[in-house]
Amino acid sequence: MARATVSPRVPRPFSVARGVVLLLLAGALGVIGFHAARFARSCVTLDGARAAIESHVKGMHVRRMARVLKTADRELLASRTAVHVTALTCGPSVLGGMTCRARYLVNGQSAGLDAADHYFRIGFSLLTGWKTGSVVETSGLRYSLAPGRCSLTTDGR
C-alpha cells in the first residue's frame, strides 16, 4: 500500500498581503475606536472636568490669599471662596488626557486682569473618568492642537 504524501501548501503572496492589510486595518480601527470612545465618554461627563477645574482654581486661590493675608486658617478662606466655571471647552490632548479652555468666576468676579480664557490639561481615563488631581495650567497652543472639542456653558451661579 502506497501512502500519498501531502506536501505543505505554500500561501500565495497575494493572500499574505491581503492578510497583513486586514490585520493593519483591524489595528487602526481598534486605535481609532478607543480614542473615539474616550472622547465620547469625556464629552458626556464634562461636569467632571468642570468640578476638577473649580477645585484646582479654588485651591490655588486659597493658597494665594493665605500667603497675601499671612493667615494659617485656610479652611476659613476655602469656605468663603466660591469658584464657578461659566464656559468650558475640552478636546483630547496630543500628550494624552484632555486640554480644556475655561472661563470662571471667583466670588462672582472674573478671574485675572482681563477675564481671558484659562487653559488646563486634565488627565482622563476611559475606565475611571476625570482625574481631579492631575489638573495643570497650560498654554493656549496645546489647546489649539486638540483635534475635536466638546463644550459646556453655565450661567455662573
Q: What is the pTM of this model?
A: 0.63
Domain for residue 75, yes or no? yes
* Residue of higher predicted confidence among 30 and 39: 30
Residue-range definition of the domain harbouring residue 56: 38-153
Q: Render pLDDT for 31-45 as a digit per residue (tens, 0 to 9).
A: 777 666 666 666 667
Domain for residue 16, yes or no? no
**C-alpha cell of 149?**
472639542
Look at the chain and report how many structural domains it folds into: 1
Q: Would you say the C-alpha torsion 116, 87, 81, 137 has a positive or negative sign? A: negative
What secondary structure letter does DSSP report for 33?
H
Domain for residue 24, yes or no? no
First to last CA, the chain: 93
Q: Is residue 129 left, alpha or beta, with left meaning phi > 0 and alpha meaning psi from -120 to 50?
A: left
